[in-house]
Structure 1
């Protein structure tokens, strides 16, 4: 399969390298010094779970032209960068499948410029940080690469995408309602990032305070209940179980353990710098919706103030 990965950050780099190694023809869109580095040194990865280092050569391109043809464009840019990318994708009508592997709490509202038939929604299963030219990453076992058609059908296209990700070593799962999945996930994401900032911008610092983690759990619980009160079914079920059904003390203990783990070091802490703009925009979008709910979110509201503060 001929694949363009649009975005050369942590997520795009890992998916591009894995798909290339699985035998696909992969191009990676990068610009500036990142493009120079990738052409010179290839995609340099280090798996934080086992220390394995790899270097993978892929074709580097700096733009998607209206006449360029690929089987799939895999979009891995940040949510706050998406508005700049959509006109470029809309101008190219050669590519029939645009897979968005990114945070998107507003679903299809973002994609007015695009033919909905071209769109597949998804979410990545990678966390990490790029230090100079090397991407240090970890695969999130608790969260597979999520994929879903806009209308919820399980199509041959969706099965094919799941197959190529599995071939590349990822776990893939199909969702009948990715738009709801992304909204639910956004509430947990913005809650965790906000609480971590307030605790000193380190997930391990947040984990030390049971009181602060309890506030985080309450904030996420409020957000989920407010979303459900709007008639939105919560998915995945694991979040409903964790934040709404299990005893509060158990969820707090589990969250403390998670925040002390390497998963948090690479999956949360790297987002506390330049990525804050992305989470601030996500928070604005999801809270605009939650404000119409009959359920209030006072704890979540207090946490989200941290996203509006300077991070340096």
Structure 2
């Protein structure tokens, strides 16, 4: 299969979907972006607007707001938050495309997703973040050693479609890693998100910047992260990335200092507190609830000791 002929549908026009669209279009792929309402109208009129090298740029993209069942793509990337993942997959249920790549968190496994799209499911996770401010995408990339697009078959086998997807990412110059156990990877990632982001909300309100910078807030992250890592490990989850396994052996004081530094970054102050934390609250709540459903059959409860 020639990568230049691949048809790719990106279902979701937020930060993740927009970034994949830009890079894949620039690499020469046939990309369509699915969006609704005002987002659909804006993309039709203005294209995808993004910040690049200090200036605002725009790239034209084919955008649709209705997907026909016989509109077939080589890969469909589902780039929505976890709390919207099931509704997105239901919208794709009758479409005849063979590969549905879910680029989202998951804290309890794939059974419900498989019930909807079957073996077309290919779990993945993006390797970057950012925000859309005033209609302009501001992407944030991390070094590959810290974050890369991760994907893999549920059974860990490197299939032809895994190899084809790897070629696509390589052509688009996306750092990527093929995982043999995507369930463990996604559950581990969900645990870190739950620990780090749930503290940004208190009584359904975003905490103020001053409170976010305190050691008390950092300690909440430390003890919550350790407790949940121990719980999923007890449930048989392989902690991945392995760096998080090392966290279990770090003194609380060291982790407190690390999280205090993180909480004082511009990323938390300018992006997560005013934007991401608020919009992601439903996602974090659902991730947390579903993680407890995953742990409960084994009667495992995180022991949070302050």
User: Common fold, TM-score beyond 0.5?
Assistant: yes
- Report the number of matched residues: 296
Q: 1:119/1:267 Cα in 2 relative to 1: closer, same or farther (>3 Å)?
A: farther
Deviates more, 1:252-261 or 1:68-77: 252-261
Comparing 55-64 with 208-217, which one deviates more in the overlay? 208-217
Aligned pair 1:275/2:280, yes or no? yes
Query: In the TM superposition, what is the alpha-carbon distance from 1:263 to its structure 2 partner?
Result: 4.1
Match of 1:165 in 2: 169
CA distance in 1, matches of 2:45, 2:282: 31
Task: Output the TM-score relative to the length of structure 1.
Answer: 0.87
> d(CA) in 2 for partners of 1:81 and 1:128?
19
In structure 1, the residue matched to 2:77 is 74
Partner of 2:198: 194
Q: 1: CA distance between counterparts of 2:132 and 2:56?
A: 14
Spell out the pairing of 1:1-312 with structure 2 (5 A cutoff). Answer: 1-47=6-52, 51-93=54-96, 95-111=97-113, 112-116=115-119, 118-141=120-143, 142-198=146-202, 201=206, 205=210, 208-241=213-246, 243-265=247-269, 268-269=272-273, 270-293=275-298, 296-299=301-304
Q: What per-residue deviation string (whole Å, max 9, x for no partner) do you get for residues 76-109 of structure 1?
A: 012111222222222012x111111111212212
CA shift for structure 1 position 157: 1.9
Which residue of the partner structure matches residue 3 of structure 2? none
* C-alpha distance in 1 between matches for 2:286 and 2:128: 21
Over aligned residue pairs, what C-alpha RMSD do you find? Answer: 2.3
The C-alpha deviation readout for 1:247-304, integer Å capped at 9, x for no partner, is 332222222222333444566333222321121111110122234456542539x9xx
Which sections of structure 2, spanning at least 5 residues, go unmatched? 1-5
* Equivalent-residue separation in structure 2 for 1:98 and 1:288 (angstroms): 25
* Unmatched segments (≥5 aa) in structure 1: 303-312
